[in-house]
Amino acid sequence: RGGPLTTPWHSLPQAIRTITELGASHKRTAVCTDDRDADDLLLFGLDWVVREAVKAGMSPEQAWSMGSLHGATRFGMDGDIGGLGGGRRADLVLMDDQLKPQCTWYGGELVVEHGKITDRLDQALSQRYQYPKAAYATVKLSEKMKLTPELPVKACTVNAIKTALPGITLIHEKVAIEPAKDWPSLFARYGLCYVTVVERHGKSAGNVAHGLLKDFGLKRGAVASSVGHDSHNIIVAGTNEPDMQVAIAAIKDQQGGVCVVADGKVRALVPLPIAGLLSDKRVAEVAEEVKALKKEWAEAGCTIPYMGFNLIPLSVIPEIRITDKGLVLVPQMQLAPLFE
């Protein structure tokens, strides 16, 4: 699985050493992408992963077999796709000497010529599948939600979620805190901010779970996403409740999305109205929205990318997560209180 340095999926250079250094056969190995946003999709496709495999020590022939034939073989489709030969689909890619695609044929029809889509493909993309109305109405929230916990009145221990690059593993850190006059002073002292998960599918009585992130770096406002894996509830982190409420309202208004809020205003927003997960716009347009989001995300101070932020509710990866049911200690598969 290959991903750029700025994502949690930059694992190919390490994983491929099993072949290049330990002598494992490449013939039962395939390379793939994972969790690409529209911006990264245009820059870091499967062809990029194959080039990274070549940089890591694979021959071009081995790397391209891992990026085409081996995956098709694994799924019993190698008689149709994954290679050149009589009776196979004419799905072809013509590359330059740097192994970058120049022209693409799909089913024998030219769809990309010299790096640009043809009129035929443009027409096909404009006549894409139309999702039913129900797919555009999946964010169902209570009218009133409290998004932040009560300030502790005495010394206690916080079960905090410590973030770290690349954003896959989260560290369970017990933070001993002393009483503070307000949340901002406590945040400044211990490097914390709010994190909240809101159930959005109308399957509960409006579950809302509160937590605290450590070292997330958020300096202002709030960030939120309806792509909280794998239940895809809304996850919101913030420095204050008003901005968190604005972020939640923006996602509800768009019926899904990712946003950055500061001083009561939405600074960047990628609408995802289809099931709260997908855009219904063309990829180039969404890529521009994502670029703007990434810029505001970085300016807000967030230390992990937003694709890693989406993993915070994924309660199968160690050490600690937060779902709409509360904090989850993953190794023990137990719920934990925020304060002890």
- Would you list the domain boundaries of the chain? 12-126, 156-336
As a whole number, the mean pLDDT across the chain is 94
How many Cα atoms are found within 13 Å in the side-chain-facing hemisphere of 27? 1
Tens digits of per-residue pLDDT, 119-148?
999 998 888 889 999 999 999 999 889 999
Q: Look at residue 1 and tell me whether its pLDDT is greater than 90.
A: no
Question: What contacts 318, CB < 8 A, 6 or more positions away?
Answer: 169, 170, 330, 331
Look up residue 137 and give its two tokens. Answer: 């109405």
Diameter over CA atoms, the chain: 76
- First vs last Cα of the chain: how many Å apart? 39
Rounded Cα gap, residues 227 and 231, in angstroms: 8
DSSP for 172-224, please give it: EEEEEE---SSHHHHHHHHTEEEEEEE--BSSSS--EEEEEEES----SSEEE
Q: Cβ-count burial of 90 within 10 angstroms (0-12 exposed, 13-18 middle, 19+ buried)?
A: exposed
Predicted local distance difference test score (pLDDT) of residue 223: 99
Predicted local distance difference test score (pLDDT) of residue 10: 80
- What pTM, to 2 d.p., does this model score? 0.91
| Average pLDDT of the segment spanning 158-172 | 92
Q: Look at residue 169 and tell me whether its pLDDT is greater than 90.
A: no
Q: Look at residue 4 and tell me whether its pLDDT is greater than 90.
A: no
Type and span of the H or E element at 265? strand 265-271
DSSP for 7-21, please give it: STT--HHHHTHHHHT
C-alpha dihedral (252, 257, 260, 262), degrees to nearest 10: -10
